[in-house]
Amino acid sequence: MILRLLSLFLLINAASTLAQSQVEQMPIIDYQNRFLPQVGSQGMVVGPEKLAAEIGQEILRQGGNAVDAAVATGFALAVTYPQAGNLGGGGFMLIHLAEPNKQVFIDYREMAPGRAHRDMYLDEAGAVDRQSLYFSYLSAGVPGTVAGLLHALENYGTLTVRQVLQPAVDLALKGIPVTYALHSAIGSRKERLLQDPGASMAYLIEGETPSLGSTFVQPDLGRVLQSIRDNGRSGFYEGWVAKTISEAMQDNGGIVSEADLKNYRVVEREPVRGSYHGYDIVSAPPPSSGGTHIIEMLNILEGFDLVSMGHNSAAYIHHVVEAMKIAYADRAAHMGDPDFSPVPVKQLLSKDYAAVRRSEINPQRARAPMEIQAGDFDDSESTDTTHFSVADTAGNVVANTYTLNFSFGSHIVVPGTGMLLNNEMADFMSKPGTPNAFGLIESQANEVSAGKRPLSSMSPTLVFKEGRPWLATGSPGGSLIISTVMQTILNAMTFDMNVAAAAGSARVHHQWMPDTLRLESGISKDTVDKLKAMGHPVEENVRTLGRTQSIMLQDGWFLGATDTRRPGGWVAGAQ
């Protein structure tokens, strides 16, 4: 009896000690903050839609790693988040592998078809034909999403193609509930979707938006997913799927051929790297402009005492915006596909270069775009892109951003596939000096050429603290992506904000041209007045800026935040 009581006492004491140890190790969260993260300990997936994020988390529960979960999430989003989740688009995946402690960047950006050429979007008068550029079969680049996700799985995942694809197949064939977010997304694009028979059949019910709470089934998309599940890459880039895409192109003035599809290639590139006050930043290299310019802006801002200025004060916003103008001017002059023209990444990332550019900033006055020149070196994207972040208990982390470009891409569905086509060709420079769909001026380095990848702003980013992954984030938003991601990580690094507060704080944006400072709601009137007095052409409260999906890693815990700027986001793995 005494031995039994002693054993019980020891068991209770051990349990109490373990519980106390867990409490002591739990992340510190300031509950006085208006924005609070979701917390978990068994891995986490943060994305723009619940069903897809939960599928990724279930893959983690089954023993898959972060890459397996990211691939499963990516394919599922093609079903549940059609405005940006996709099979017919492309993107970038940034992976941190705990073993052997390295980062991998997978470029699966779309490629220009073999028959593409520089002047293909100019009409007889030499003006850009925007209907052809944005909303036609001719606007599609060769899609890279399927090849990119499968490349990641085959090289860095642990599960089979069937294991990670089957959940997406089931969603498409069995149907998904029409949530408010899905109903709103389809409804907002109904008139444009009605203009294409394939899109109307795939996304509308007798010409109307699927009703709230109904079951939305996508049998054609399910067949394509089954083909990929059963045949891997060749199930999309060859065989009946490729033939169907090619024939639709031929019948409708497009130029993506079966040969283009078969010859699509994924490229692994060296990520860009920088540092900021002891943190290490790893991000997307060209043909993304995002990572380079995020680090360039941080290099410039590192020399200012931002803390003493105060977060989102007039002085703080002024200095951040002036750094943005410099970076976006450099983007316009230098960025393109590095496989086709040299990009001065090393110079743009230089601390010495940042010091020179920092000295040009007047602390009292805004500079007009014409006063800001791009750096002179000797060796010289839609708001409905989407991002998701994944982390597992083994220390692997994935930041993935992919897109169709515009919301619902070109709004064209290839008949028999249920698959939306991208309109990524709009991300090339169509005519010198003419802004793209996001108002960005670009150089001849980004002109249309067969086999080239268009310049992108997508910026999946990882931040390391004391050598360990600390923050994974990214955003949609076209030209807004770069400034959104930069401000999110700057908030966390400089002002010690939790991941939800870093995402939730009001943002600002300036992209050099046009000369407009965009401010979200939440910036005080006094601050706005001071910015105007400095000469900033302020545009207030027009729309939200970006939508991050982020995970912060702290002492074995996962702190997730889905940006509340749009509905439907989800943190899977919260406890």
Q: Which residues are catalytic?
A: 385
- Among 126, 61, 65, which residue's Cα sits nearest to residue 432? 126
Q: Which two tokens stand for residue 359?
A: 């000295």
CA dist., res. 571 & res. 170, Å (int): 22
CB atoms within 10 A of CB 54: 18
23 neighbors 43 (Cβ within 8 angstroms): no
DSSP 349-411: T-HHHHHHHHHT--TT-PPPGGG------TT---TT-EEEEEE-TTS-EEEEEEE-SSTTTTS
According to DSSP, residue 106 is labeled E
- For residue 187, count CB atoms less than 10 angstroms from its CB and return exposed for 0-12, middle for 13-18, buried for 19 or more: middle
DSSP SS3 for 571: strand
- Among 72, 35, 77, which residue's Cα sits nearest to residue 384? 77
What lies within 8 Å, CB to CB, of 230 at 6+ separation is 162
Q: Which two tokens stand for residue 221?
A: 């998309």
CA dist., res. 307 & res. 200, Å (int): 52
Instruction: Detail the DSSP E strand segments found in 270-355.
Output: 272-276, 279-283
User: How far is Cα of residue 458 from the mean position of the Cα atoms in its chain?
Assistant: 5
**Which residue type, as a one-letter code, is found at position 491?**
N
Quote the crossing angle between the two packed helices 290-301 and 480-495, to the nearest 10°.
Answer: 40
Name beta bridge partners: 571: 46
According to DSSP, residue 155 is labeled H
Name beta bridge partners: 572: 45
321 neighbors 508 (Cβ within 8 angstroms): yes
DSSP SS3 for 148: helix
- Among 347, 316, 318, 317, which residue's Cα sits nearest to residue 330? 347
Q: Which two tokens stand for residue 290?
A: 């995002």
CA dist., res. 112 & res. 287, Å (int): 13
What lies within 8 Å, CB to CB, of 194 at 6+ separation is 200, 204, 207
DSSP SS3 for 334: helix
- How many residues in the chain? 575
551 neighbors 462 (Cβ within 8 angstroms): no
Helices in 122-196 by DSSP H: which ranges?
130-134, 145-156, 161-174, 180-188, 190-193
CA dist., res. 189 & res. 221, Å (int): 19
CA dist., res. 74 & res. 237, Å (int): 18
